[in-house]
Chains A and B, each alone.
Chain A
């Protein structure tokens, strides 16, 4: 599988599809909708930008598969919590799409405290010929109306509008890190550091707390929840990961409050790898079920692990993302990079997993062939339709011509958020404030 950069121009193949909408803000989340037709990004400024895939057209076969801006809206604004004297950031932490049930699209977007349900709909007709108001919208003088007419719908330029349909607020004391829609498509859960709440999509004034790990004495706090997700097929099952490197699977049929887990996944620590920063790098930054629901994947600072739901004692597979950083943990602690939260994604068939790294590198691991590849998302090294060249980091000794040494890595260029099309080999990679969309070379 080789990846190629999409181009949005036939005439000038040098045009680079780097979707950096100006003013570009740091992208904080990327998510395809269930069909892959739409791609949503959230940024630090609270904006959501939705891209839509161009439809296949016989006239322009090269343009198939390219994503263009479909809708842009301000999802969250900065708020101020007067009680705590704290500013609530407008940064979008997560976006999750709802499955499409009618002509409109629905997505959930969340910042640290509030989840919102947005409806994105198209309008391509507008009514004309009102009796009581004229075309500009001004009210007509009733005395001038001499005849009645029936307003008719006239075509207009396509307009995509986003409206907030629900606002779910005031349910989280701590910062929301995840949202996940249940398979029943009626409920979803929102997760903060210590609690998980279950919501009904229709009801905004109440939510049910299903997990609460807050200790009675906060000084006894040893771990926090870092991510949570519903099972893709079973609406009663969900998992949540912790800062201590463990994953708990809960069944909502067992009890109303799921403080007691049904399964507990944890790998015993390798004593040879023990170091000062062991605990900090074992914190799980992302957890994802496979599409099949049979496996789950976790990302901690240096590795990605695939777990079998039926085996709690250790992961099925462990992949080293950037093990060369293990000896640099102290400086990564000082420059705050050790706190970076990388996400991980499955491809549609669960055969390949992908995650980001530093220097705008991202890594893919093929679970079947056990091959892995490092690719780079950067303007300088990519041209449209050029095949992405695999990169390699030189760990020690002689550095080959194309390799990059560990000390030359740019730690300010990190790829935390990536997304994989649900069925095709199209990936979206967020490199700080640029969005790259790559697709598999079509023969």
Chain B
């Protein structure tokens, strides 16, 4: 019982934090447009007249994309640093940062999304093996 007043105050604080945050969302315009979010939410059966929730979903999605992209950026920069260590004098680091499938698949792997491409396709399981071992 003694916990209750404090916890109820805490809950009030949490609620107020949340509601303040949701109100502040209306000032912030997420990069992902509301119409797009509404389209996919409607596809999934999500029903809510409250616009703030749409904004919340949009912001959460933007955060997700930003995280994936920053992970991919780190992979890209790490690769470029590895290349530069070999040839320091002549070539400068390639300044263009390109989002490649390779980096993207590595960063998405951590989020549970598997977009790995096959590196090569072979005719049979024994392709490329030494003839001696193949005969065995």
Decide if A and B are genuine partners: no
**Interface residues of A, Cβ cutoff 8 Å to B:** none
